Amino acid sequence: MRLQKRVKIWNERIRMDNFAQAGTIETVTCPFCGLLCDDLTVQRDSAGNLKVMDKGCARSVTFFERPIATPSPRIQGKPVALQEAIAKAAEILGNSRQPLLAGLGTEVFGMRAVMNLAESNRATLDHMNSNGFMRNIHVLQNSGWFTTTLTEVRNRVDLLLVIGTDIISLFPRFFEREIWNKETMFEQDTSQREVVYLGGRNIDTSAGVSPDGRQPDVLPCDLDRLPEVVAALRALILGKKLHATEVAGIAVADLEKLSQRLLAAKYSVVTWAAAPLDFPHAELTIQNITELVIALNKTTRSAGLPLGGSDGDISANQVSAWISGYPMRNSYARNYPDYDPYLYSTSRQLESGEADSLFWVSSINPERTPPATNVPTVVFGHASMELAKEPEVFIPVGTPGVDHKGIMFRSDNVVSLPLQQLRSHTLPTLSEVLRAIEQTLQTSVQ
């Protein structure tokens, strides 16, 4: 009854805001990557279909222009009423001794509801991107780092060193917004900025071409040889002499030139994405990158820029830290927050049989589906999600930034941006569904 009352109030608010009318919405924030570009113009027709009209990229078009879908909740593949699906999800959670809340593709309000449910039901938490995200967390916890913000990059960088990624496959508008931007706070001629790609093969470096046509420098190597290259570059910056002519196919002379360029730069930025660094002990390479930055700061100005933020991983980690004091991969199984980056990974929890139920959240990207498992599974998913195996319960939820409002944290962790509601819809928010499950469990106990 309480859920029905909230939905009624919410629908009345939608009618007041005229979301059913056609119109053009400006300064829209796109939550589909960590840049959170907030300058998009989106057009809505009378049926609620959306079209990106300005400042879009391929990822934002994919996100906003998906056809409208309003599937029914399902129990073992059969359509049911929302209240019935909530009751079944509550039953599975109530019977579980070690539930796993994973995926966590949501924004701040959704993640707060996830944390509340985890605490009251002694659940374990893990984000779908944690395998990459934790590489950065390990370094931050072990030795700290010196990092910058996207705003600082936009206004100050003169040399950008990109390690192990092309950036644009993750953040299509990065160079447009942060490197080749036409205006800066200090009247810098951004067309004179230098870009160097280090590591990786067959990556797209076209975005690194300057507005006046200068090509970026590219020092390619196999990704799994990147640890040697970064270690060598750090040694050269520290003034060490290498008794070799090449490292992983890169001439030492070229690495020496790069070290001198970094030392001569007024404000260099060294950036990487942890997810593509998928080789053993990649966190040690990230630590070498951050220590390289610290070495540069002895004589000049330099900063690191870890890139992340897909599927709400930065937002989920922020909320986890506020509420529990720990990053992702923590657990309330002992009735208090307990952090362990190894024990509480999704894959280990499922493979070891420790988790006896899986509650998967993916409200932003329908392609991020739950892992194959034999434990009872409940999915709170994007309305367009297609599942290879039908879970015990599927509850479609609204998409933040399209169907309802929200808040997300940008890749650099320091800025949170509001997500607008762009159209009317009939799907509940993740927060509403999780609160209803929690209330159902409380009522059953009473």
Contact 435, 395 (CB under 8 A): no
Integer Cα distance of 364 and 398 in angstroms:
9
Task: Indicate the DSSP class of residue 175.
Answer: I
* Ramachandran quadrant class, 401 (left: phi over 0; alpha: psi -120 to 50; beta: rest): left
Closest CA to 365 of 157, 17, 60: 60
What tokens were used for 122? 């002694």
Residue ranges matching CATH 3.40.50.740 in the chain: 71-129+311-400+429-445
Burial of residue 129 (number of CB atoms within 10 Å: 0-12, 13-18, 19+)? buried
CATH fold of 71-129+311-400+429-445 reads Rossmann fold (3.40.50)
Secondary structure class of 242 (helix, strand, coil):
coil
Residue 64 Cα distances to 32, 57, 67, 422, angstroms:
9, 11, 9, 10
Residue ranges matching CATH 3.40.228.10 in the chain: 134-307
CATH architecture group of domain 134-307 = 3-Layer(aba) Sandwich (3.40)
Amino acid letter, residue 96: S
Contact 292, 233 (CB under 8 A): yes
Residue 123: the pLDDT is: 98
Model confidence, pTM? 0.93
Residue 412: the pLDDT is: 95
Query: What is the Cα 333 distance to its own chain's centre?
Result: 26
Contact 272, 289 (CB under 8 A): yes
What lies within 8 Å, CB to CB, of 209 at 6+ separation is 215, 216
> Which contiguous run of DSSP H or E holds residue 162?
strand 159-163
**pLDDT string in tens for the chain (446-residue length):** 445 554 454 444 444 467 768 999 999 999 999 999 999 999 999 999 999 999 999 999 999 999 999 999 999 999 999 999 999 999 999 999 999 999 999 999 999 999 999 999 999 999 999 999 999 999 999 999 999 999 999 999 999 999 999 999 999 999 999 999 999 999 999 999 999 999 988 899 999 999 999 999 999 999 999 999 999 999 999 999 999 999 999 999 999 999 999 999 999 999 999 999 999 999 999 999 999 999 999 999 999 999 998 999 999 999 999 999 999 999 999 999 999 999 999 999 999 999 999 999 999 999 999 999 999 999 999 999 999 999 999 999 999 999 999 999 999 999 999 999 999 988 999 999 999 999 999 887 66
Closest CA to 33 of 195, 135, 178: 178
Residue 445: the pLDDT is: 66
Q: What's the half-sphere exposure (Cβ side, CA atoms, 13 Å) at 261?
A: 19
Residue 6: the pLDDT is: 47
Helix-strand-coil split of the chain, %, nearest 5: 35, 20, 45
Radius of gyration for the alpha carbons in the chain, expressed in angstroms and rounded: 23
What tokens were used for 113? 């509801």
Integer Cα distance of 407 and 6 in angstroms:
20
Residue 174: the pLDDT is: 98
